[in-house]
Structure 1
Amino acid sequence: MKIYKELGWFFKEQKKSYIIGVSLLFMITLLQLVPPKILGMSVDALTKDTLTKSNLWLWMGILLGAAILAYIGRYFWRMMIFGSDNKLQRQLRLRLFEHLSKMSPFFFQRYRTGDLMAHATNDIAAVQQVAGFGVLTLCDSILTGSTVIATMAITIDWRLTLIALLPMPLMVWGSSVLGRKLHDRFHGAQAEFSKLNDKTQESLSGIKVTKTFGQEAEDIADFAKQTDAVVEQNIKVAKVDALFDPMISIIVGISFVLSLGFGSKFVMEGTLSIGQVIAFTNYLFLLIWPMLAFGFLFNVIQRGNASYDRLNTLLNEPEDVKDESGAIDKVPSGDIDFQLKAFTYPDEEKPVLADIDFQLKAGGTLGIVGRTGSGKTTLLKLLMREYDDYEGEIVFDGEKIQCYTVRSLRNAIGYVPQDQFLFSTTVRENIRFGNPELSQEDVERTAEMVSVHQDITEFTDGYDTVVGERGVSLSGGQKQRLAIARALIMNPELLILDDALSAVDAKTEEQILQNLKRNRADKTTIISAHRLSSVEHANLIIVIDKGQIVERGTHTELIALDGWYAEMFRNQQLEELIEAGGDANGAE
């Protein structure tokens, strides 16, 4: 019953609904005692030839009234109890989603998307069952069981009642043993379902790659293997689950045999009437449901315990980045002073960044270049407070970034990552994601700034075109430009382009950069790129290699330095000339 203690906070919130629901259950339990009693009285009246028409009509009226009251009661207890368990589902789902939204990227490296989805669906549904069907079976088995037993003992014969209850300890022991096994096996089944969920999500997201490499058969085989693992685990659960009903049926059968045998003996001795034995037998029928409910209860509780344990594992994960006490709730808008001594990713030993220092004036542009894996994106993640555990400090508008609330700091930043994510909605809704009330005129003006307006007008439905999941219907360049437009809509104090122009041609890139320079003259911009033409105009360019700054200066200064930057610039210019020459030859 551990889970009921842990869900105590919810039962306190909904105590009114549960009190009404349980009270109605108790009323129905009392009403269920009426038919067996009237049946026994009718049989005795028949055998004694004392049954009258008026008595018969009276008893029939009582039975009808009890049935109507029970019908009404059953409707309202369902509203109270099952209505409340849906509120628990909602609260847990919102709490989990809110918690996940605060987690750092490192958290999502350890937990895969499919696994998190399984927690948010199957596990929460299992816990919901505890607050709904579990409460029903718990209260109904206790209320019905105790009242029926008390009625049998008080109104008929306490000896026969004790005899009928002799097999009950076996049911308690058996349910306890099976319940523990069910908990372990259900935990395993949920884990396998999480893996299947993740496999499904990954396969559907990567379907284009799978088809390109002709690996459909292998992917289907892998999916089938994972499905078999889920089936195997659920069969293990079903094998234990299937033992509950037969065990209870055997125990109930033993109780019936004992009751009929000793009841007949007491009738022969004259201590009981036939009507009383019939009534006792009918009361015993009423005990079947509490016994079955007791088995169901163990089933629901063990499933709920396993799922609640899995949910708590997630909910107890600490937030890596959170607001400090008294954090400034103001959007920063000044100079940036980056003084980083060292940063190491969690669970790693070697620093990925060291001795990174630079100053960027408000309204200036910083270019960050370097080889793949040199640490450019990591530097940007620290600026956005995706990680806080590092040596040194980052100052924005005169305050360390940890002094601001996470929300206000990120409201100052418009970030366009390497891997653009577009939502499965229209082009318009993707662009104005950060400001849903933005006018069509503003949307189009922003689209023109990033040279994507013409592309959009050529789509079949224009700005109403649905881009598909993750923008699957768009080219790489179109996705990048839409992502930039989405960031610009917020008019951020700091715009960060993390290799966000790699999929557009040089001419379009130049247009976008000129538009940004003209429209964001008083705003700060950071551009991380592999193509050096993206950062030529920057006020400061830093070259990062193996997590350290190896060169710095303006474009002209770095060319004069004749280091890595100058060599890479000459190589890229040569590549452009070769490509241009190839196009010219092809045209001839």
Structure 2
Amino acid sequence: MRIFKDLWWFFVQEKKAYGIGILMLLCVALLELVPPKVIGIVVDLIITNELTTRNLFLWSIVLISAGIFMYGLRYVWRVMIFGASVKLAKQLRDDMFSHFTKMPPSFYQKKRTGDLMAHATNDIQAVRETAGAGVLTLVDSLAVGGFVIITMASTISWKLTVIALLPMPIMAILTNYYGTLLHSRFHFAQEAFSHLNDKTQESINGIKVMKTFGQESKDVESFSKQSENVVEKNMSVAKVDSLFDPTISIIVGISFFLSIAFGSRFVMNDEMTLGELISFTTYLGLLIWPMLAFGWLFNIVERGRASYDRIQTLLREKSDIKMGEDLVDNQPIGSLEYQVEEFYYPDSETKALSQIYFTLNKGQTLGIVGKTGAGKTTLLKILMREYSLTNGCIIFANKSIEQYTLRSLRESIGYVPQDHYLFSMSVRDNIAFGVPNSTDEEVYSASKLAHIYEDIQDFTRGFHTMVGEKGVSLSGGQKQRISIARAILMQPELLVLDDSLSAVDAKTEEAILTSLKNNRKDQTTIITAHRMSAVQHADLIIVLDKGKIAERGTHEELMKLKGMYYDMYLLQQLESKVEEGDRHE
């Protein structure tokens, strides 16, 4: 029952709801004692020929009144206890979602989306059941069982009560053993469900690739195997769970046998009346529910305990982003300076960056080029504080970026990543995502700067066109430009384009860069690119090679060096001429 101790904080928080609910349960348990007693009294009145119409009417009124009261009280405890458990589910979901938003990319590299979704759905549902049906079952079974036993012992026969309860210790030992098995097996069942959930999510997201390579049948086969594993793990849970009812039924059957056998003898010896024996066996029938409930309770509790442990393990994971003291909540405005000695990704022994030193004054544009894997995106990730620096610092507006709150730092940066993500909403809402209160004119202006306005006007419903999940209905170039418009609308102090022009043609690229240059004269811009044309207008260009700055300078200065930049530029010029020749042919 450790789960109830773990959830004690919530029971204290909702003490009013649980207090009223439990009080109502106790009242119902007491009222349930009335019918068996009335039945015994009426039977004795029949045997002694003392039953009259008036007596029968009065006892009938008692039974009906008890039933009506129980109906009302049961309604109240359901609202209170089950209502509180729904609040727990909401609170856990909110805590978990908030936790997800605070975790760095390294967290999502270790965790798979399907597994996180399983925590937020299946596991929370199991905990909710514990706080609702679990509390109900525990209180109701103890209350009904306790009141019934006390009533049997005090009002009928304590001797027969002891005899009837003799098999109970056996049931306690067996159900405890079943509970231990259930806990470990349910943990594995939840893990199997997480893997299946992840497989489903991954397959749906990759359905286009799967169809392109004709791997549908293999993926179905893989899914089927994982589904069979889920069935197997849940069957192992069900096999243990199925032991509870037969065990309890056998114990109850033994108790009934002992009660009738010894009770008949007591009636023959005039130690109790026939009506009392009938009342006793009726009370014993009421004990069936508490006994069965204990089996159900073990199931609920062990499921809830395993799921709560999984949730808490997830929530205990800490972000590896280092934060300074006395954090500043103002957005930084000013120059940017990199003083990076070295940077390693978590759990990696290979240097991703080393000896990165440069200064970018307010209003300047920085171009970053290099081969794939040179460290361009890594340079931006540490600026966005997706990872903490291993050794060194980045100064933004005369303060280390670790001195700013994550919110203020990131609000000052308009970041357009390589992988453009659009939400399942209208084009307008996607552009206004960072500034929800934007006017239509502001949205239109940002889209014009990103040179996507005319494309949007050609859509079926213009800016109100739904783009579909992840922008599935748009081309790569359209998604890129909508993402750029979204960043421009924020009017950030620092605009970062991480290879964000790769899917547009050279003419559109030039138009976008010219618009940015004319409209962001006093604001800073960083552009990473594979095409030299995207950065040749920059005030400073750095060439990265294996995580280090191999060359730096303006376009003209780097061309004079005739180094890596020069070679890459000439190669791209040659490729462009070849492509033009192919088009003319």
Residue 190 of structure 2 corresponds to 190
Residue 478 of structure 2 corresponds to 478
Give distance in 1, aligned partners of 2:219 and 2:226.
Answer: 11
| Range moving further from structure 2, 441-450 or 199-208 | 441-450
Residue 394 of structure 2 corresponds to 394
Give distance in 2, aligned partners of 1:323 and 1:146.
Answer: 55
Count of aligned positions: 585
Give distance in 2, aligned partners of 1:170 and 1:320.
Answer: 51
Alignment partner of 1:12 is 2:12 = yes
Partner amino acid for 1:238? A
* Alignment CA distance shift 1:296-1:322 (3 Å): farther
Partner amino acid for 1:209? V
1:389 deviates by 3.9
- The answer to whether the 8 A contact 2:330-2:404 is kept is yes
Alignment partner of 1:234 is 2:257 = no
Residue 494 of structure 2 corresponds to 494
Find the residue that maps to 2:354 and give its secondary structure: strand
Residue 291 of structure 2 corresponds to 291
Alignment of 1:140-155 (within 5 A): 140-155=140-155
Give distance in 2, aligned partners of 1:226 and 1:233.
Answer: 11
Residue 534 of structure 1 corresponds to 534
Find the residue that maps to 2:340 and give its secondary structure: strand
Residue 35 of structure 1 corresponds to 35
Alignment of 1:192-341 (within 5 A): 192-321=192-321, 323-341=323-341
- The answer to whether the 8 A contact 1:322-1:406 is kept is no
1:288 deviates by 0.7
Partner amino acid for 2:31? L
Give distance in 2, aligned partners of 1:257 and 1:319.
Answer: 62
Give distance in 2, aligned partners of 1:210 and 1:439.
Answer: 41
Alignment of 1:359-374 (within 5 A): 359-374=359-374
- The answer to whether the 8 A contact 1:329-1:405 is kept is yes
Partner amino acid for 2:467? V
**Runs of 4+ displaced beyond 3 Å:** 322-325
- The answer to whether the 8 A contact 2:196-2:230 is kept is yes
Identity percentage over the alignment?
Answer: 58
Alignment of 1:83-232 (within 5 A): 83-232=83-232
Alignment of 1:415-454 (within 5 A): 415-454=415-454
CA deviations 1:555-588 (Å, max 9, x no partner) are: 1101101001101001111111111122222xxx
Give distance in 2, aligned partners of 1:19 and 1:451.
Answer: 62
CA deviations 1:156-208 (Å, max 9, x no partner) are: 00011011111111111111111111111110011011111111111111111
Give distance in 2, aligned partners of 1:497 and 1:112.
Answer: 27
1:324 deviates by 3.5
CA deviations 1:5-55 (Å, max 9, x no partner) are: 111110110011101000000000010000000000000000000112211
Q: TM-score, normalised by structure 1?
A: 0.99
Residue 53 of structure 1 corresponds to 53
Partner amino acid for 1:169? P
CA deviations 1:223-278 (Å, max 9, x no partner) are: 11111111111111111111111111111111111111111111111111110011
Give distance in 1, aligned partners of 2:260 and 2:324.
Answer: 72
Give distance in 2, aligned partners of 1:444 and 1:512.
Answer: 15
Alignment partner of 1:70 is 2:60 = no
Segments of structure 1 that go 5 or more residues without pairing to the other structure are: none
Give distance in 2, aligned partners of 1:295 and 1:98.
Answer: 36
- The answer to whether the 8 A contact 1:540-1:553 is kept is yes
1:323 deviates by 4.3
Give distance in 2, aligned partners of 1:426 and 1:218.
Answer: 36
- The answer to whether the 8 A contact 1:126-1:307 is kept is yes
Partner amino acid for 1:556? E
Segments of structure 2 that go 5 or more residues without pairing to the other structure are: none
| Range moving further from structure 2, 504-513 or 439-448 | 439-448
Give distance in 2, aligned partners of 1:190 and 1:42.
Answer: 53
1:456 deviates by 1.0
Find the residue that maps to 2:97 and give its secondary structure: helix
Give distance in 1, aligned partners of 2:204 and 2:246.
Answer: 42
- The answer to whether the 8 A contact 1:447-1:485 is kept is yes
Find the residue that maps to 1:527 and give its secondary structure: strand
1:387 deviates by 1.1
Find the residue that maps to 1:243 and give its secondary structure: helix
1:434 deviates by 1.1
1:435 deviates by 1.6
Give distance in 1, aligned partners of 2:215 and 2:466.
Answer: 28
Partner amino acid for 1:508? T
1:322 deviates by 5.7
1:321 deviates by 2.1
- The answer to whether the 8 A contact 1:330-1:408 is kept is yes
Alignment of 1:490-529 (within 5 A): 490-529=490-529
Give distance in 1, aligned partners of 2:244 and 2:414.
Answer: 58
- The answer to whether the 8 A contact 1:459-1:465 is kept is yes
1:458 deviates by 1.3
Give distance in 2, aligned partners of 1:150 and 1:389.
Answer: 68
Q: TM-score, normalised by structure 2?
A: 0.99
Residue 343 of structure 2 corresponds to 343
- The answer to whether the 8 A contact 2:322-2:388 is kept is no
Give distance in 2, aligned partners of 1:532 and 1:220.
Answer: 44
Residue 355 of structure 2 corresponds to 355
